[in-house]
Amino acid sequence: MKWVFCLMAAGLCLCLQSHVDAETRLSRSAIEKAVIEAKDTVDLAYEYSRRESIERVRRNSASPSDVLRLLKQPLGQTRLAVRSADYMHFAVNLIKRSLERHQKRSINATDLISEEDLQVIADLTGCSARRRVPPCKTTPNLDKFRTISSVCNNRKNTRWGSSNTPFTRWLPAEYQDGISLPKGWDPRRTVNRRLLPLVREVSNQILRIADYRVENDPLYTHLVTIFGQWTDHDLTFTPHSPVIRSFSNGIDCDKSCERTDPCFPIKIPRQDPRFGRNSEECMPFYRSAPACGSGNTGHIFGASNVREQMNSLTAFIDVGQVYGADDTKAIFLRNLSSDEGLLRVNTKFTDNGRELLPFTNMSVNMCATRARITNDVNAQEVPCFVAGDERSNENIGLTSLHTLMLREHNRLARALAKLNPLWGGERLYQEARKIMGGYFQVLTFRDYLLHIVGPDFIAKQLSTYPGYDENVDPSISNVFATAAYRFAHLMVQPFMFRLDEKYQEHHDFPSPLLHKAFFTPWRIVFEGGLDPILRGLVGHRAKLNTQDRMMHDELRERLFKFSSELALDLASLNMQRGRDHALPGYLKWREFCGLSQPKNQRQLAKVLENDKLAKSLLDLYGKPDNIDVWLGGVAEPFVRGGRVGPLFACLIATQFQKIRQGDRLWWENEGVFTEAQRESLKQTSLARIICDNTGITEVPEQPFQYTTMSKFTKCRNIPAFNLSPWKENVK
Ligand SMILES: *[C@@H]1O[C@H](CO)[C@@H](O)[C@H](O)[C@H]1NC(C)=O
Ligand SMILES: *[C@@H]1O[C@H](CO)[C@@H](O)[C@H](O)[C@H]1NC(C)=O
Ligand SMILES: *[C@@H]1O[C@H](CO)[C@@H](O)[C@H](O)[C@H]1NC(C)=O
């Protein structure tokens, strides 16, 4: 027997065809109507947010949270993916709500929407297109060069490690409702029978450094810190939805403490050191965008229904932060007006004749606004720079690495053209890009990771290359992006150092406080260019993360502070992000890594080698299980020779192990480079890359390791990269 009934929902008539003995099926027209309504609502919210952003920037009132939001703005393919996901999420919610209203008994509404109907919704919202298997057979040169998005790196699972796919999970998500609401969404709900502390309370109690006394790292330079950010921006970017107000009730996330998707504001505790007593304020926080078809749809695409977050970058070490992770962006970054394989450079300014990054052509110009509202006398309005990753302006140290690598690409392309006069622009671009990929695989594994995870984890997981394994999924895990690889936030100095030729504080361009070095491309254009900043990175020590001095207030109290607006707190953001992404707590991850699971204060004190810290943590959390994993990780004492504790060493080593073994185009994999080319790549020297592309004449030969200037090496004594194996024999 079959019958049809209709119900009204938000001005929308849903007609259901129900089989008495089978599941409900929605009529095609009901689905179409729901999708149209969802699209209208989402489009309106996007449009409102776009106009509001432009307006705020124009009024010079962009707040730090606007800055963060603009920074996490999805663009290009990512924007399409996020929009499709928003359509689908909202359409399913509309249908669910009307079904729920109709159903008397409380059964899961998602169970009422059949897999077939979900498929129809996915088709109509554009979500299915995001899952389509790309035609690898017709893509040229798959064995020689990487695709920009890294689709087809794995020939069986063609989307593994490609951009705009969900982060993978190594442990199941722990949402408050089991599906999509963050932990702590309802602050009165307990987790392991305890209330979760406010993240800002934890930040205040555990992480705070209010003065400018910072312990310097005895071994490592500030380049180690910024290189962490640099490699992170090759591997992970979690987009937000661009909307700034709730879909369901129109509340502006910036203006309310109400938790309503996508707003998940950070509540400020009473007696906050910055905000004083009885503060009612919240810091705005936007949830990460859900991946298509995750979080409220039941079972679809053969996967579970929990909300997943997206990675808009490729999982591989492929220097995507220079070249982009989607095709449109990659083309935009190339200089196609000549056939030389070059990347586009700035046509208005140079740095003493050396190349600078091009300016963005975007109409919302955060960097110019920032220059306009600062009280710095040198500030001039220039647009933001544009690079492969959207965050290249975040601080001038990072911008310097982007600029340095742009120059190195162009240097390589020109040198390859001399060696192989017959090569065209496409070949030159691809070969130079491939060498750059090789460089960073070598530098990361040979030089960088050793200083982070220490020799024991290197020996266990990251030493000799085991060969390519097509069964290893290289995708970045949620815990790596959201917790473990944020370890370097505790190694950030409160200054961006600028040094002169003698590696002394620069007389003309002194070192700015960090918060005065966020989004300031003008400092690179008008304040002495790259050289003083790079000298500051290799000639100054990193901040040492110690258990009683964790995160400097430049990041905790002045993040993206340009004016008097409410500045953000990076520690609070990290913990709130972990809850947004439903990461399990500290002990579950210790268990995942085969480490002990301290159950009480005595045991925790032993793991942390610190009674006082263990007590403070338990005063806040009640149980070690509930400690936010990012905080638990950064609170651990370092492993031997490393700069993270055993938990993060395990998570970081595990991720890099997968990135290497699951990369068909890994530099050591047979057939990717010739043997002679591999010999050249083994000699890759970051010091030499600095020498080749700047006016710097003396550098530490191991730029991650701190030494005094008397031990620096003259550039002419550092061997040049041997390009001769790239000369093609022409018959
Ligand atoms: C409802 O969904 C939840 C989460 O997916 C599941 O654990 C539960 O068993 C479902 N309940 C029913 C009645 O199907
Ligand atoms: C492109 O390359 C040509 C030739 O080297 C150069 O003159 C021009 O300035 C470049 N344009 C950009 C935007 O990089
Ligand atoms: C910026 O450049 C991109 C790529 O060429 C183009 O698609 C876009 O329309 C441009 N935007 C503006 C505001 O000019």
Q: How confident is the model at residue 1 (pLDDT cuts 50, 70, 90)?
A: very low
What does the pLDDT read at residue 4? 36
pLDDT tens across 451-491, in order?
999 999 999 999 999 999 999 999 999 999 999 999 999 99
Ligand 2, atom 2, residue with closest C-alpha: 338
- In our burial notation (b when 16+ CB lie closer than 10 A, e otherwise), range 62-72 reads bbbbbbbbbbb
What is the reported pLDDT for 2?
Answer: 35
CB-defined site of ligand 2, < 6 Å:
335, 337-338, 340, 342, 344-345, 347
> How many residues are there in the chain?
731
Report the residue among 333, 336, 339, 345 best suited for mutation to probe ligand 2: largest number of ligand atoms under 8 A from its CB.
345
Integer Cα distance of 483 and 209 in angstroms: 20
Residue nearest to atom 4 of ligand 3 (CA): 332
Average pLDDT over residues 118-124: 89
Cα angle 705-710-712, degrees, rounded to a multiple of 5: 50
Of 19, 102, 222, 233, the active-site residue reads 233
Q: Which of 108, 174, 180, 294 to mutate to test the pocket of ligand 1 (most atoms within 8 A of CB)?
A: 108
In the block, residue with structure tokens 């300016």: 359
Q: How confident is the model at residue 305 (pLDDT cuts 50, 70, 90)?
A: confident
Residue range 82-104, pLDDT digits in tens: 999 999 988 988 888 877 777 65
Is the pLDDT higher at 442 or at 93?
442
Closest C-alpha to ligand 1, atom 13: 107
Q: Average the pLDDT over 254-276 and give the result.
A: 87
233 annotated active-site: yes
* pLDDT of 13: 40
Comparing CA positions, the residue from 373, 389, 385, 397 lying closest to residue 224 is 397
pLDDT at residue number 573: 94
- Residues 510 and 499 sit within 8 Å (Cβ to Cβ): no
612-651 pLDDT tens trace: 999 999 999 999 999 999 999 999 999 999 999 999 999 9
- Mean of all residue pLDDT scores within the chain: 89
Give residue 303's pLDDT: 63
Task: Tell which wins on pLDDT, 417 or 82.
Answer: 417
pLDDT for residue 20: 35
Contact of 283 with 569, CB cutoff 8 Å:
yes
Single-letter amino acid code for the residue at 456: D
**409 CA distance to ligand 2 centroid (A)?**
14
Q: Is 664 helix (H, G, I), strand (E, B) or coil?
A: coil
Q: For the residues 487-498, what does the mean pLDDT come to?
A: 96
Task: Give the count of alpha carbons within 13 A of 164, CB side only.
Answer: 25
In this model, does residue 436 exceed pLDDT 70?
yes
Q: Closest ligand 3 atom, CA of 363?
A: 13
Residue nearest atom 11 in ligand 1 by C-alpha distance: 108
pLDDT digits (tens, 9 = 90+) for 5-55: 333 333 344 444 443 334 456 788 888 999 999 999 899 888 888 888 778
**Residue to substitute in 334, 336, 337 for testing ligand 2 pocket (most ligand atoms within 8 angstroms of CB):** 337
Which of 302 and 418 is assigned the larger pLDDT? Answer: 418
- The label of the residue with tokens 């340009």 reads 562
* CA R_g for the chain: 26
Contact 413, 432 (CB under 8 A): yes
* % of the chain beyond a pLDDT of 90: 67
pLDDT at residue number 60: 66
The residue extents of the domains of the chain are 3-132+240-250+286-311, 222-238+313-446+477-568+677-726
**What is the model's pLDDT at position 3?**
35
622 close to 616: Cβ distance less than 8 angstroms: no
Residue ranges around ligand 1 (CB below 6 Å)? 107-108, 111, 178-179
- How do residues 554-588 score in pLDDT, each as one tens digit? 888 877 766 555 678 899 999 999 999 999 999 99
Task: Confirm whether pTM is higher than 0.95.
Answer: no
Ligand nearest to the CA of 181: 1
Domain 222-238+313-446+477-568+677-726: give its CATH architecture.
Orthogonal Bundle (1.10)
The closest-lying atom of ligand 1 relative to the alpha carbon of residue 107 is 13
Q: Compute the average pLDDT of residues 417-422.
A: 97
